Structure 1
Amino acid sequence: MLKKIIGIILSLIVIFIVVAGAFFAFKGYQKSQNLKMIDQYLTENHLKDKVIEEKDEYDPRKGIFYKELTIKGDEKNTYIAQPIHMKRGFFLQGFNTETKKHDKNAKYSFFDEDYKLK
């Protein structure tokens, strides 16, 4: 009886370790794919060399990785660059740096639900 209980406990511990490892592996993969898509968009639109400040962030509510950017030529806005899904869809949205409100007329704003990672 004691051997069964120890066996069950060890099995549960092993299952927990495997599930936790798979979760962190998925989050690592998701981060690499999201940041790759953001960098791809910035490179394609010749914005990579205009970036003044870049910060990688994670939103636990949405479970997605994104970048906060300050772009030369529009320093009054801070941009959020974020994929919509892991391999499809992308938006770049400008927010006023002081008020933190969405700027609908931001110079580099972009939204495309069909933008794909190449």
Structure 2
Amino acid sequence: GNAHTVYNGSFFYHQLQKPQIVKYELSTMRSQHLLVPHAFINETNYLYLTEYNYMDFSADDNGLWVIYGLPGSNNTAVMKIDSYSLEIQYALNISVKHNKAGEMFIVCGVLYVVESTTDRRSNIR
């Protein structure tokens, strides 16, 4: 699989065919679920050009982030969640066309977009 992460002792992933994420605590083997607001899971709303993922995770010094596409506008949603409680801390609607990006990641609270993951030369913006 791809587009998952291990953070603070838990495995985070997008549940297949559902607009929710799962937190699986590795030490206790318990799981929690979070319904992701405004997530639309179907073949018209893939997150990246590769058309494999609907959601992606990123972790930085600020915490855990979920990146996903918003239907209709093709904008990108960036949601920060508390990794322990799964509470949504805040979410942003960013004017970046998610279906035109090769990959996205967050460092120091800033979203970076990789234009292509297949071209030998690509840009990060």
Same fold, TM-score > 0.5, yes or no = no
Which band: TM-score by shorter chain? 0.3 to 0.5
Structure label with greater radius of gyration: 1
Bigger fraction of residues in helix? 1
TM-score (norm 1): 0.40
TM-score (norm 2): 0.38
